[in-house]
Amino acid sequence: MKRLFALLKEYKWLVFFSPFFKLLETVTDLVNPLLVAQIVDKGVTSGDMNLIMRYGLIIIVVNVLGLAFSILSNKFASQVSSGIATKERKLIFTKIASFSHSELDKFGTASLVNRLTNDVNQVENAVSIFMRLLLRVPFLLIGAFVLTLILNRSMSIVFLILIPIVSVLLYFYTKKTTPYFKIVRDKLDNISRITKENLSGTRVIRAFNKQSDEVSRFEFASEDYTNTSIRISKISALIEPFVLLIVNITTAIILYVGGIQVNIGGLTQGNILALIDYVAIITISLLLLSQLIVVFVRTSASLHRIDEIMDTEPIVKDLPDAHEYKNLKYDALMEFKNVSFNYTQSIKDKSFIKDLSFKIYPHNTIGIIGGTGSGKTTIASLMTRFYDVTSGEILYKGKNIKDYTLQALRKEISIVQQRSTLFSGSLRDNMKLRNENATDTEIIEALKISQAWQFVSEWNNTLDHQIMAGGKNVSGGQMQRLTIARALIGRPELLILDDSSSALDFLTDASLRRELKKLDSTLVIISQRATSIKSADLIIVLDNGDVVGMGKHAQLMKDCEIYREIYNSQSK
């Protein structure tokens, strides 16, 4: 909430003028019943048409002014709400961009998208509504009560009874519905998650003929969301009828008591009409108050979800004294010293990587191999500091990688991930992600090294060829070669290939490795193919997060049973 008020301060004049003009509109609403009463009491009863026309003209002018005030108020409110929503989205998106993998894993993509869109939209609508109604509603209530008191003190007692009863009703409504709104938002996140999984995995779903199962899964989540929403709606549906019932009873009492007072001369017919109008105004005000409470409760849930993002500090971030080191003297380019790592979702006290130590020397090729789930990708994520180690330390050029800024570290270390992707736009734009100043010559050279130029050169527009979102219009092997080329731009000191040639045939894979050998970069090749890392200067064999073998191919064939089994099974 404090963050929202801080944004409102940037629009302080609009925030002032919007309620101000709404108050002026409210004054015109309160004056109308008094003018009508004057027409009835002085004009209609005496048959004075000039007086009726005069007051009628005044009513028209008052209502035109009310319309003008309303337009100005709504315009200013819209400007403020739209501006705040724009700034809020920018702040949230910037915050999400600063998150490490741990925070992204915690929230999930679907939830982050919903918070960035639906929750911000809810806040935008709430700001607009509150600016227009927050002062108008109490002013109408107070104004109508004061004018009723002026017209007839005995009638004002009815309003004194009416307002507390409705207030108690609204209090119990708020208390009952508040917990449900956050639950509804969470269930909407679940629907978004299922939808995202279904759309991104549609080919797999169709391949296994699971469309009906996915429809059932979506329907179950949708019905769960619907049932909770209906539960809130049922409670909300009782508010308006109860308020109207109380107000109608109040109107009947006014007509009955007022009729008696008219007969004895205590009230005029115009006063009775004015009192009924003020009952209508109070009715509308109370209903608007109930809507404001609903909006407030919904918005509180949305603000809480937004605050969860904004108050979350990324675990992996630049330390205060981090900077870019240059001209360092070092022996090993990178060194793991007794590194252990544990994902937050893992079983307590059970490390995923355990007491890992090894050195990577400049211009060497390191191979990492092991079964599925053995920790190969985790090591790659630790090298690039996508996650921070649980214990131990990782040195880069003799300095702890935490001493570098993330920008400086990732400028020297480039990674091609297992699930790397391409973005919508031209091939040239995709190739410039690591270095926006890369020339076409550098891009073509990288494409040739990655063995991608042989098919890119056949495209009509070559570097201007348009890539669909997610690389949908290229094959798996083509995508892997393009993402390798993208990682080569700028000649990184350390290049990590995380199982990034699995879709390549053996001939292309061999050609790729031969070209990579010619580079000055140090290579870390993570693969499940023993042939891909056979000639590496150092091969690390993993099994369930433990290093079970380390050395060259010939040595591991003698001493490491797991490596020998992997190599022999693939050779045969």
Higher pLDDT pick, 259 / 448: 448
Same domain, 555 and 523: yes
Let me know whether 383 and 241 are in one domain: no
CA distances from 212 to 193, 220, 366, 514 (A): 18, 12, 46, 48
Domain for residue 533, yes or no? yes
- The domain tally of the chain equals 2
Average pLDDT over the chain reads 82
Name the token pair of 492: 């990184």
Instruction: Name the 3-class secondary structure at 348.
Output: coil
Q: Is residue 316 part of a domain?
A: no
- The pLDDT assigned to 350 comes to 54
Q: Are residues 342 and 273 in the same domain?
A: no
CATH of the domain at 165: 1.20.1560.10
Q: State whether 341 and 281 are in the same domain.
A: no
Residue 326: inside a domain: no
Does residue 496 fall inside a structural domain? yes
Residue 266 has pLDDT above 70, yes or no: no
Residues 235, 363 within the same domain? no
**Cβ–Cβ < 8 Å for 513, 532:** yes
What average pLDDT does the segment 262-281 reach?
Answer: 75
Q: Are residues 523 and 374 in the same domain?
A: yes
Write b or e for each residue in 270-287: b if 16 or more Cβ atoms lie within 10 A of its Cβ, otherwise e: bbbbbbbbbbebbbebbb
- 282 and 395 within one domain: no
Residue 196 belongs to some domain of the structure: yes
pLDDT, mean of residues 236-261: 75
Are residues 353 and 302 located together in one domain of the fold?
A: no
How far from the centroid of its chain's Cα atoms is residue 560's Cα? 48
- Tell me whether residue 541 is in a domain: yes
Q: Give every CB contact of residue 329 below 8 A, 6+ residues apart in sequence.
A: 398
Say yes or no: 237 and 381 in one domain: no
Q: Are residues 344 and 301 in the same domain?
A: no
Asked if 254 and 346 sit in the same domain, the reply is no
Residues 43 and 128 in one domain: yes
The CATH number given to whatever domain includes residue 464 is 3.40.50.300
- Confidence (pLDDT) at 572: 61
Does any domain span residue 66? yes
* Domain boundary, last residue among 244, 276, 310: 310
At residue 128 the predicted structure's pLDDT band, cuts being 50, 70 and 90, is confident
Which residue, 310, 342, 363, sits at the end of a domain?
310
Q: 324 in a domain, yes or no?
A: no
pLDDT digits (tens, 9 = 90+) for 39-96: 877 776 666 778 778 888 988 898 899 899 989 988 998 899 888 888 999 998 988 8
The domain in which residue 357 lies consists of 334-571
- The pLDDT, as a whole number, for residue 478 is 84
Of 256, 277, 310, which residue sits at a domain end? 310
Task: Reply yes or no on whether the pLDDT at 349 is more than 50.
Answer: no
pLDDT for res 290: 73
